[in-house]
Structure 1
Amino acid sequence: MLLRNRLFLALVVLLASLPVLPVPEFWITQLNYVGLYAIVSLGLVLLTGVSGLTSFGQAAFVGLGAYTSAWLSTAHGVSPWLTLWVGVALTVVVALVLAAITLRMSGHYLPLATIAWGLSLYYAMSNMEFLGKYDGILGVPAMNLFGISLASGRSYYYLIWLVALLAAIAVIHLLDSRAGRAIRALKGGTTMAEAMGISTYRYKVLVFVIAAVLAAVSGWLFAHFQRTVNPSPFGLNKGIEYLFMAVLGGVGHVWGAFTGAAVVKLVEDQLQVILPKLFGGNGNYEIIVFGIVLVVVLKVAPQGLFPGLAKAFGAIAGRWMPPTQRVRDWDGAPALPERDKPVAGELLLDVQAVRKQFGGLVAVNDVSFTIRAGEIIGLIGPNGAGKSTTFNLITGVLGLTRGQVLFRGQPVGGLSSREIAERGMSRTFQHVKMLPDMTVLENVALGGYLRSRHGVFAAMLRLDRDEEKRLFAEAERQLARIGMAGQMHELAGNLALGPARLMEIARALCTDPALLLLDEPAAGLRHKEKQALAEVLRQLKAEGMSILLVEHDMDFVMNLTDRIVVMEFGTKLIEGTPQDVQQSPAVRAAYLGTEH
């Protein structure tokens, strides 16, 4: 960590030294544009690389910031420093409206929608009389900072790069936080995140607004750097170019935004000189080259250029480059708040005649059962019996057709999985859902989301460190509870299936549940792994945890549960002790097709 700080400091010193060195003015101008483009690309790293939301319309937000500042400062004499806040406020309003319209879309509809509103904003700016239509606004005033004019490119350079580096640091801080982990969970789908109590739509809107604000700030800087504003830099082609920069540099990496902006800007200018000479005429030949380059990069280095450069630098640096590992600084951190737990024997879950129909298909037909505090209940049946559907009805993933689910005496049927998680139910998944590029510790800490409060701005300003220590202390405690504390710094994507399922249980325990719901936790595990899992579940029961277990492995269930509910063709076949179920002719018929 110390070395990384020194490398960053060395980069800052180098950037700060360039304007006072005898370098050509052209270099400074190019670096100014790289800084401006990098700020926009940072927003796309958050929006597309981290959250998985593709946008082709960021150039329109750049134009919104640029035109707001240009018009207010020329037509009304407003200070450029004040126009920044007006532009940001206007951008937030526009982004919220556009988010409400487009962010509930999925698949190819979302990027198509961003193209639509990007074009709409572009043509709106191009056809407004008071904005100068296609001629734009001339005579935008230069900025002054503490009486120092920033009219020259060399003086303005410092402001652009100060904003760019501060924005990068803020994004890095954000991603290493409670809110950042919630944002990183968006890309893997909404089911797991919602089950941890995260409002995925809210975070999509937040990321969309942050990316729009970064683009608007870049536009504000651009207006007073160019000293003139017209619609041409804010069209769809520029929006595509910004996305190209982010993808080329490494769309999942903060410093990839700078890498992509530098490569595109510096290479583009050279190509504009070289290619017309080669082809013997004028034209945008560089676009053809960039298209080919993008295809090659996506094929050879799908993560972009920055990860490869970082890896190469690490190889050159050798042993003095330390491994990335979180500093363990949470010893003695106060415990996170805990919910009131039910007393042993208390009626915890009451499933009353739940039914689920998909058109004419009845997947679950009036199934009822109860769970009391301190019990392990098994829900079993042949393939297609309706176990997973029943499980999803209880956890809010699916809505009830009819019937009722009561949790601790309160109806939860019809609530979202996020609202059910808030009431004290936590679950794992039939197919392990995790964030493979985060450590085991960070994945488990995601489960503590509902037990913590700090948000985006506290994270960016690093005001959430005490709460982060509490979250990681709790995550380590839950990993120790299941015997995985020694693997907490491993990348989750490197885990075998057995440890990955245990990690999911630790994440669910981190929510401090009153009821733990496990969806086929032994599926795909070897015999020794199943034994280890069974021992963990027995230990949890001994500590007072209540568990609902959906499972195919009969031996695993029979040796672990207090009672078993058997389903067949969507109906409850029998409920009783493991011995009752083993001796039931109806169960043997369901599994073997005969009573004998």
Structure 2
Amino acid sequence: MKRIVKNGPFWMFLIVLFALPVLPKPLHVPEYWITLLNYIGLYSIVAIGLVLLTGIGGMTSFGQAAFVGIGAYATAYLTTQFGVSPWLGLIAGVLLTALIAWVLGAVTMRLSGHFLPLGTIAWGLALFFLFGNLELLGKYDGINGIPVLNLLGIDLETGRHIYYLIWIVVLGAVVSVQNLLNSRPGRAIRALRGSGSMAEAMGVDTGWMRVVIFVYAAVLAAISGFLYAHLQRAVNPTPFGLNHGIEYLFMAVVGGVSHVWGAVLGAAILTLLQDYLQTLLPKLLGENGNFEMIVFGILMVLLLQHARGGVWPFVARLFPRGPQARAPNDVHPLPMRSKPAAGERLLSVDKVRKEFGGLVAVNDVSFDVKSGHIIGLIGPNGAGKSTTFNLVTGVLQPTRGTVTFRGERIDALNSREIARRGIGRTFQHVKLVPGMTVLENVAIGAHLRGRAGVWRSIVRLNRSEEARLMAEAARQIRRVGLEKHLYDEAGSLALGQQRILEIARALCCDPTLLLLDEPAAGLRYQEKQQLAALLRRLREEGMSILLVEHDMDFVMNLTDRLVVMEFGTRIAEGLPHEVQRDPAVLEAYLGGVE
């Protein structure tokens, strides 16, 4: 009963939406408004894909209108030239779009910065001019006489008839994207924007994930094109150019580019605003001139200046917050990897060297990490500690030397493969997804322990696995003492709590070796003591830890052995009390001692 009340506004929206075309005569909705609602629905489908691609995935695309064109032309050509069923035309359009998007995405998604949107503009224009120059597609005259859609024996020959199909597809797109985002691959997608290196270290193939969401956004655009073609009964290249690609992106941004329902709201705002201005301005300023575009542009600039997150966050305040992802209690635990014997040599760094041009950042450094030990890698700022750490974790490749883990060379592997072998890590500068809960952030660490992919997640065939992943994340959060913050947003935590959250996320990988990059940096004295107590407890539970740190006081009573670096070279190694008295270490830290 509580769930029905909580979702009351959503159900009210559905009731109004689906009742509009069939209201009795006194409340009869004119055909003109049904047409506007149809176009809002068509635009929403494309904008929802852009929310996934741009707002969540962080990849700006101006070319979605071209994918709308592929879906529209595929069904138009097949149904008019060969008389095939429009539904076969839909399948053909989706498959063709997915293939083209996969090829384009494999190239375009490798770009970064301003090169990525420029790349989408380039192929968007190429496809637009292809539509207009191919004889078989009717060049700029396009294709006419597209047949009416027939669904369950009903001809959808008017806007009022096809209205329901369009909005069912809109709702299906909303639900599918929300299902995806609240899943194992969805958490990986949400980490792409600003946390790609963290996602890679947790085992996420970020390059492949970018291509996947690019293809999915393109497929949604193609479905919109299919519906558009059978609504209009004719297609030509005009609606599939760069201008419309910019408008689709604008809809997503205005509504709220990080919110799925914001895409629907943005499509409604822009469609209604454009229609209103086209009616009002000629009466005020005369028929000559395209004044509506000028006024429209000014209004959009003002809107984005005062609502950079879009309009949806303001609307969302009126509704109760939906249910969050929860950690179940009674589920079968995830399998765990076998633990090494006490004292077994886990990690061996042998004469590792890293050169950046003429600069030697790491100079033939060697050390070992044994099972059940905490090893500290310390030194002054600029000593090469983090570079050595990155060589071990696959962020950098050594110029020469070897790194082996449990007898296997890993110095040529990337971060994903190293994580797969049982090495978990944290970061010198905290890397979280601030808008996700503590539970969801930690669950990213269990990415390699799940198997459900994008398509299973969309249709919610991943429920059993998802429950196990969430239960494991909750277990690790309790293990590090953050259970009070299980459902808080990660960005709301203090720095010390965020660093402990990173340790919980790394533990969720089920590592054999835990690598911590300056975990005490920026912490107050009491926070450092709590962190040290946590690390001692993990060692007692059998965890092996390599700790990169420059705070000698922090590591002196914590570690089993210390490796000291200065200017990229190992200057000392031994027990903490031995290192503390080493003349070379005193010289590095204190400038010498009398």
TM-score by length of 1: 0.97
Task: Name the structure 1 match of 2:436.
Answer: 438
Contact conserved, 2:195 with 2:432, CA < 8 A, in 1? Answer: no
Contact conserved, 2:378 with 2:385, CA < 8 A, in 1? Answer: yes
Task: Name the structure 2 match of 1:51.
Answer: 57
Q: CA offset at residue 477 of structure 1? A: 0.6
Task: Name the structure 1 match of 2:349.
Answer: 351
Change in CA separation of 1:501 and 1:169 when aligned onto 2, cut-off 3 Å: same
Q: Distance in 1 between matches of 2:88 and 2:288?
A: 42
Q: Distance in 1 between matches of 2:485 and 2:32?
A: 51
Q: What does residue range 349-498 of structure 1 map to in structure 2 within 5 Å?
A: 349-498=347-496
State percent identity of aligned pairs: 62
- What amino acid is aligned across from residue 275 of structure 2 in structure 1? D
Is 2:168 the partner of 1:162? yes
Q: Distance in 2 between matches of 1:329 and 1:411?
A: 37
Contact conserved, 1:57 with 1:114, CA < 8 A, in 2? Answer: yes
Alpha-carbon deviations, 1:468-499, whole Å to 9, x = none?
Answer: 11111111110111110110100001011010
Task: Name the structure 1 match of 2:7.
Answer: 5
- What amino acid is aligned across from residue 534 of structure 1 in structure 2? A
Task: Name the structure 2 match of 1:38.
Answer: 44
Q: CA offset at residue 6 of structure 1? A: 3.1
Aligned residues: 588
Say which of 114, 137, 156 aligns to 2:143: 137
Task: Name the structure 2 match of 1:15.
Answer: 17
Q: CA offset at residue 363 of structure 1? A: 0.2
Is 2:269 the partner of 1:263? yes
Q: Distance in 2 between matches of 1:324 and 1:148?
A: 37
Q: CA offset at residue 299 of structure 1? A: 1.9
Task: Name the structure 2 match of 1:577.
Answer: 575
- Structure 1: state its 5+ residue gaps: 315-320
Alpha-carbon deviations, 1:371-410, whole Å to 9, x = none?
Answer: 0000000000011110000000000001110000000000
Task: Name the structure 2 match of 1:317.
Answer: none
Q: What does residue range 271-290 of structure 1 map to in structure 2 within 5 Å?
A: 271-290=277-296
Q: Distance in 1 between matches of 2:327 and 2:472?
A: 13
Contact conserved, 2:182 with 2:325, CA < 8 A, in 1? Answer: no
Q: Distance in 2 between matches of 1:482 and 1:426?
A: 15
Task: Name the structure 2 match of 1:504.
Answer: 502
- What amino acid is aligned across from residue 186 of structure 2 in structure 1? G
Q: CA offset at residue 294 of structure 1? A: 2.6
Which stretch has the larger CA shift, 95-104 or 37-46?
A: 95-104
Alpha-carbon deviations, 1:192-232, whole Å to 9, x = none?
Answer: 00000000001000000000000000000000000000000
RMSD: 1.1
Q: Distance in 2 between matches of 1:284 and 1:97?
A: 38
Report the 3-state secondary structure (helix = DSSP H, G, I; strand = E; otherwise coil) of the residue aligned with 1:267: helix
Q: Distance in 2 between matches of 1:37 and 1:2?
A: 29
Q: CA offset at residue 593 of structure 1? A: 1.6
Q: CA offset at residue 334 of structure 1? A: 0.8
Task: Name the structure 1 match of 2:156.
Answer: 150
Q: Distance in 1 between matches of 2:45 and 2:178?
A: 13
Task: Name the structure 2 match of 1:239.
Answer: 245
Q: Distance in 2 between matches of 1:327 and 1:429?
A: 26
Alpha-carbon deviations, 1:59-95, whole Å to 9, x = none?
Answer: 0000000000001111110111111000000001100
Contact conserved, 2:513 with 2:544, CA < 8 A, in 1? Answer: yes
Report the 3-state secondary structure (helix = DSSP H, G, I; strand = E; otherwise coil) of the residue aligned with 1:190: helix
Contact conserved, 2:41 with 2:167, CA < 8 A, in 1? Answer: yes
Q: What does residue range 63-102 of structure 1 map to in structure 2 within 5 Å?
A: 63-102=69-108
Contact conserved, 1:586 with 1:595, CA < 8 A, in 2? Answer: no
- Structure 2: state its 5+ residue gaps: none
Contact conserved, 2:94 with 2:222, CA < 8 A, in 1? Answer: yes
Q: CA offset at residue 290 of structure 1? A: 2.9
Say which of 532, 535, 540 aligns to 2:533: 535
Contact conserved, 1:28 with 1:153, CA < 8 A, in 2? Answer: yes
Q: Distance in 2 between matches of 1:495 and 1:535?
A: 20
Which stretch has the larger CA shift, 270-279 or 125-134?
A: 270-279
Q: Distance in 2 between matches of 1:239 and 1:328?
A: 38
- What amino acid is aligned across from residue 435 of structure 2 in structure 1? D
TM-score by length of 2: 0.98
Say which of 126, 130, 138 aligns to 1:124: 130
Report the 3-state secondary structure (helix = DSSP H, G, I; strand = E; otherwise coil) of the residue aligned with 2:7: helix
Q: CA offset at residue 287 of structure 1? A: 2.4
Q: CA offset at residue 285 of structure 1? A: 2.5
Q: CA offset at residue 295 of structure 1? A: 2.0
Task: Name the structure 2 match of 1:318.
Answer: none
Contact conserved, 1:331 with 1:473, CA < 8 A, in 2? Answer: yes
Q: CA offset at residue 341 of structure 1? A: 1.4
Q: CA offset at residue 325 of structure 1? A: 4.9
- What amino acid is aligned across from residue 418 of structure 1 in structure 2? R
Q: Distance in 2 between matches of 1:502 and 1:2?
A: 37
Say which of 181, 184, 188 aligns to 2:190: 184
Alpha-carbon deviations, 1:335-375, whole Å to 9, x = none?
Answer: 11211211110010000100000000000000000000000
Q: Distance in 2 between matches of 1:81 and 1:3?
A: 38
Q: CA offset at residue 327 of structure 1? A: 6.1
Alpha-carbon deviations, 1:230-257, whole Å to 9, x = none?
Answer: 0000000000000000000000000000
Q: Distance in 2 between matches of 1:526 and 1:396?
A: 31
Report the 3-state secondary structure (helix = DSSP H, G, I; strand = E; otherwise coil) of the residue aligned with 2:174: helix
- What amino acid is aligned across from residue 416 of structure 2 in structure 1? R
Q: Distance in 2 between matches of 1:195 and 1:399?
A: 15
Q: CA offset at residue 324 of structure 1? A: 4.8
- What amino acid is aligned across from residue 5 of structure 2 in structure 1? L
Q: Distance in 2 between matches of 1:82 and 1:325?
A: 38
Contact conserved, 1:445 with 1:471, CA < 8 A, in 2? Answer: yes
Report the 3-state secondary structure (helix = DSSP H, G, I; strand = E; otherwise coil) of the residue aligned with 1:550: strand
Runs of 4+ displaced beyond 6 Å = none
Report the 3-state secondary structure (helix = DSSP H, G, I; strand = E; otherwise coil) of the residue aligned with 2:227: helix
Report the 3-state secondary structure (helix = DSSP H, G, I; strand = E; otherwise coil) of the residue aligned with 1:471: helix
Report the 3-state secondary structure (helix = DSSP H, G, I; strand = E; otherwise coil) of the residue aligned with 2:273: helix
Q: Distance in 1 between matches of 2:471 and 2:228?
A: 45
Q: Distance in 2 between matches of 1:283 and 1:43?
A: 34
Contact conserved, 1:325 with 1:489, CA < 8 A, in 2? Answer: no
Q: What does residue range 288-299 of structure 1 map to in structure 2 within 5 Å?
A: 288-299=294-305
Which stretch has the larger CA shift, 436-445 or 274-283?
A: 274-283
Is 2:207 the partner of 1:201? yes
Q: Distance in 2 between matches of 1:178 and 1:537?
A: 28
Q: Distance in 1 between matches of 2:155 and 2:556?
A: 79
Contact conserved, 2:360 with 2:568, CA < 8 A, in 1? Answer: yes
Q: CA offset at residue 7 of structure 1? A: 2.6
Q: CA offset at residue 459 of structure 1? A: 1.0
Q: Distance in 1 between matches of 2:4 and 2:589?
A: 61
